[in-house]
Amino acid sequence: MGLRLTFLFISCFVHLFFIQAQYNISGRVFDAQSKEPLIGATVINKLNGRGTITNTQGYYVMQVDSGQVDLQITYIGYESAQIKRSIDADTIINISLVAGLELDEWLIKAHSGISDGKMEVGQMNLAVHKIPETPVIGGESNVITSLKSLPGVGFGREGSSELFVRGGSHDQNLILLDEAPVYNLNHAFGLVSVFNTPTIKNVTLYKGGIPADYGGHLSSVLDITTKEGDKQTYHGDFALSTFAASLSAYGPIVKDKVSFNIAVRRSWPDLLLSQLMSNEQQYQPGLYFLDINTKINYVLKDKHHFCFSYYTGQDKLFLKSHSRQNKLNSEQGWGNHLTSLRWNYASPNGMFNKVTMYYSRFFEFDNMEQSIEGNKLGYINQSQMDEIGLKGSIAKQVNDNLHVKVGTDCFVRRFQTPYKLNFQGEKEYIVEKKSKTHQTGVFIYSSANWNHNNFMLKAGVRGGTTIIASEKRYTFEPRLSAQYQLNKQWMLMAGATSLSQSMVAITKSNNGFPGFIWLPVNKNQKLQRSTQLSTGLHYHPQTLSVGVEAYYKIMNNVISHPNYSSALYEYNDWSNIVQQGKGQSYGLELLAEYTGVNWDIQLAYTLSKTEYVFGTVNNGAWFPADFDIRHDINWAGTYLLRNDDKGKNRMTINYAINSGSPLTMPTQSIRIQMPIFDYEQYWFNFGSLDYYERTNNARQNWYHRLDIGYHMEKNKNRGSRIWNIGLINCYNQQNPYAYFRGNDGVFKQIVLFPLMPYVSFRRKF
Residue 429: pLDDT band (50, 70, 90) is low
Q: What is the mean pLDDT of residues 424-442?
A: 75
Q: Is the pLDDT confidence value at 142 over 50?
A: yes
pLDDT in tens, 531-566: 999 999 999 888 889 999 999 999 999 988 755 555
Q: Is the pLDDT confidence value at 654 over 70?
A: yes
Q: What is the mean pLDDT of residues 129-136?
A: 86
Looking at the DSSP bridge assignments, the partners of residue 563 are none
Q: Is 557 left (phi over 0), alpha (psi -120 to 50) or beta?
A: left
Residue 216: pLDDT band (50, 70, 90) is very high
The kind and range of the H/E element at 423 are strand 402-424
Q: Where do the DSSP E strands lie in 257-350?
A: 258-267, 284-300, 304-322, 326-346
Please give the C-alpha separations between residue 534 and each of 288, 459, 528, in angstroms, as whole numbers.
42, 15, 20
Q: Which segment of 17-21, 214-218, 753-757 scores lowest on mean pLDDT?
A: 17-21
pLDDT in tens, 25-69: 888 888 888 778 888 888 888 887 777 888 878 888 887 777 788
Looking at the DSSP bridge assignments, the partners of residue 736 are 751
Q: Is the pLDDT confidence value at 422 over 70?
A: yes
pLDDT in tens, 82-124: 888 888 787 888 888 888 654 443 333 333 332 333 468 889 8
Q: What is the 3-state secondary structure (H, E, C) of 612-663?
A: EECCCCHHHCCEECCCCCCEEEEEEEEEEEEEECCEEEEEEEEEEEECCCEE
CA distance linking residue 486 with residue 537, whole number of Å: 10
User: Which domains are present in the chain?
Assistant: 2-103 (2.60.40.1120), 123-661+700-764 (2.40.170.20)
CB of 653 closer than 8 Å to CB of 728: no
Q: Which segment of 294-308, 470-484, 730-744 scores lowest on mean pLDDT?
A: 730-744
Residue 20: pLDDT band (50, 70, 90) is very low
Nearest to 652 by CA among 595, 704, 711: 711
Supply φ then ψ for residue 242, to 5 degrees. Answer: -65, -30
Please give the pLDDT value at position 528.
95
Q: Write the DSSP symbol of residue 567.
A: G
Q: Which amino acid makes up residue 361? A: R
Q: Is the pLDDT confidence value at 338 over 70?
A: yes
Please give the pLDDT value at position 620.
86
Please give the pLDDT value at position 569.
65
Nearest to 540 by CA among 119, 44, 76: 119
Nearest to 337 by CA among 181, 202, 444: 181
Say which residues have a Cβ less than 8 Å from residue 585's Cβ, sequence separation at least 6.
166, 167, 168, 551, 552, 553, 555, 608, 609, 610, 611, 625
CA distance linking residue 711 with residue 728, whole number of Å: 15
**Burial of residue 671, with CB atoms counted within 10 A of its CB: 0-12 exposed, 13-18 middle, 19 or more buried:** exposed
pTM of the model: 0.88
CA distance linking residue 568 with residue 578, whole number of Å: 10
pLDDT in tens, 341-368: 999 988 877 788 999 999 999 999 888 8
Say which residues have a Cβ less than 8 Å from residue 694's Cβ, sequence separation at least 6.
618, 621, 623, 664, 667
Please give the pLDDT value at position 675.
52
Question: Mean pLDDT in the chain?
Answer: 84
